Amino acid sequence: MVFSSLTFLFAFMPITFILYYLVPLKAKNVIIMISGIVFYAWGEPLYVFAMLLSTAIDYCAGLLMHKYDDNPKIRTACLIVSLLMNLGLLGTFKYLGFIINSVNAWFGWEIANPNLPLPIGISFFTFQSMSYTIDLYRRNIKVQKNPVSFIGFVSLFPQLVAGPIVRYEDIQNEIDNRTITEKMVGDGICRFITGLGKKVLIANNIGMLWTTIKETAGFDYTQLSTVTAWLGILAFTFQIFFDFSGYSDMAIGLGKMMGFNFPENFDYPYMSHSVSEFWRRWHMTLGAWFKSYIYIPLGGNRKGLARTIINLLIVWTVTGIWHGASWNFMLWGLYFGILIVLERLFLGKVLEKIPPFFSWLYTFVLVVFGWVMFDAIDPTTVDIGVMFSQVFTYIGALFGANGVFIDNTAFSAIMNYGIIFALCILGSSDLIKTFSNFIRNKAPQWMQYGIPVVQLVVMLMSIAYLSTASYNPFLYFNF
């Protein structure tokens, strides 16, 4: 079922927030719980039970850990059950079909594929729920005995289906005792509008160019001109940033309006000067999750260089697999893992010594190559040879391998999307933030009135766009 999230969100939010602000503090978590379940059920009326099952398993595991606090065996058993059940849900819905298709292709078998639809956001809510039992096992947090509060934590509708990944540790003090101030509400509204504009006005529009180029090529990139190839993958490079960071901004804004301080998820990643820095700035909550629950338990960098390299490659392979059930995602994860290992070995020191422009260019170009692996490959292919062929063909087109530098498709794209590209470049840097801070802190009072006017215009333009658009999917709903 297509999850028309933004359309439903605008119909859903006013009622939710009116009730949320009217009820007393003790009842607010009830509103959060109900609203989260309704929001998820709107897109996944059947698979809402998968989300509730994950929640129930971890809630019960937490209670048993608390009850048998002095019994290590029972505590460990509870943790294992939680991990197995959550990873089992994730594996069944997300990876079973891919595994069956791969095995059938490799061995000539005919195992029936159940073709289970993927519950939206399953990678997010399972990781979020698992973090509770892991941290409780480590005794980093206190048990949550109130089922309403725990279900509310997992089903917080602002970030339920596409992050940021909010660990219980992040909001344990706010889940049962939070204060909602006028400033938080005001800041939340501004942040929500920023995210909405990123998604609706920029990501949706620049994404149309990439969709057109990819669909026209049909994964055969031998006819792309050099300029068309660059415009296409740059369009996706900006689309995925504004789409995902836009959703994160909206979630953080809605969280503030409800009294929560969700962790940041993006910090201008395309301004990075190394691949390692890029991944400290991109999808920061996922990186923190893998660091806390995989990299450090494996030994991190505490057991020598060889073990550190192995640990990094394991984490990045898992990162790729987390993003999707296809070989290209595993390739994508390993690609970044290898680059980060090389930077740790020697490239990092080189990047520190060269002019900043060249370290930025190195990073940006390699990230763009990564996006080729991420989205320019046919996700249905299980033939690794075909996958590599598509990657190298597209990257070859970027460097003129097809013998055509520019064509009519490129000229048309430049004419139609030139302004959007300019907005993408501006919006992916911190220039707007720096200028806004200058106006707020140092500009005359009359200039400061311009900020809410701009936000109002962005809001109205976004609503106008939504009124004519029939489909506004978020890319990360598929993860």
Catalytic (active-site) positions: 323
Report the C-alpha gap between 9 and 437 in whole angstroms.
Answer: 30
Report the C-alpha gap between 426 and 197 in whole angstroms.
Answer: 14
How many other CB atoms are found less than 10 A from the CB of residue 445? 6
Report the C-alpha gap between 2 and 354 in whole angstroms.
Answer: 48
Report the C-alpha gap between 256 and 17 in whole angstroms.
Answer: 12
Report the C-alpha gap between 93 and 119 in whole angstroms.
Answer: 7
Long-range contacts of 80-84 (CB under 8 A, 24+ apart): 81/57, 82/57, 82/58, 82/130, 82/133, 83/130, 83/133, 83/134
Report the C-alpha gap between 380 and 394 in whole angstroms.
Answer: 18
Instruction: Enter the tokens of residue 238.
Output: 């900006």
Single-letter residue type at 353: K
Q: Residues 128, 165: contact at Cβ < 8 Å?
A: yes
Q: Residues 101, 382: contact at Cβ < 8 Å?
A: yes
Q: State the helix-helix crossing angle for 356-375 and 327-342, rounded to 10 degrees.
A: 160
Q: Residues 115, 40: contact at Cβ < 8 Å?
A: no
Single-letter residue type at 40: Y
Question: How far is C-alpha 167 from the geometric centre of its chain's CA atoms?
Answer: 15
- Cα distances (angstroms) measured from residue 395 to each of 10, 365, 404: 41, 11, 14
- Cα distances (angstroms) measured from residue 122 to each of 71, 134, 154: 32, 18, 11
Report the C-alpha gap between 55 and 152 in whole angstroms.
Answer: 10
How many other CB atoms are found less than 10 A from the CB of residue 98? 19
Question: How far is C-alpha 221 from the geometric centre of its chain's CA atoms?
Answer: 27
Instruction: Enter the tokens of residue 217.
Output: 């090529």
Report H helices in 2-67: 5-22, 25-43, 48-67
